[in-house]
Structure 1
Amino acid sequence: MINSTSWLLLRQGLPFRGHDESDNSMNQGNFLELLHYITEQNEEYRLVALENAPGHDKLIAPIDEARDGSNKEQMANILCYVNKRGCVVECLLSIMHVTDTISLSLKMGIETLFSKYNLSISRLRGQDYDGASNMRGQFNGLKALKLKDNEYAFYVHYFAHQLQLALVVAAKEDTNIERLFLKVSCVINIVGWSPRRRDLLNEKQVLKVKKGIESGELSIGQGLNQDISLKRPRETRWGSNYGTLLSLINLFSSVIEVLEDLTENSDNRIEASDLVDYTTSFDFAFNLHMMKNILGITFELAQALQRKDQNIINVMSLVHLLKRRLLLIRNNGWDNLLDEVSYFCIAYNINVPNM
Structure 2
Amino acid sequence: MQKWEGLKNVSRHIDRRMNKQSENIVKQNRLLIRTSIRALRWLALQGCAFRGHDESVDSHNCGNFLELVKFQGELCKEIGDIILDKVSKNAKYTSPSIQQEILKIIADLVRSKIRDEVGDAKFCILVDEAIDESRRSQMTIVLRYVDCDGFVRERFFEVVGVDDTNSLTLKTHICSILTQHKLLIENM
Q: Same fold (TM over 0.5)?
A: no
TM-score, normalization by structure 2? 0.42
Higher relative contact order (CA 8 A, sep 6+): 2
Higher strand share: 2
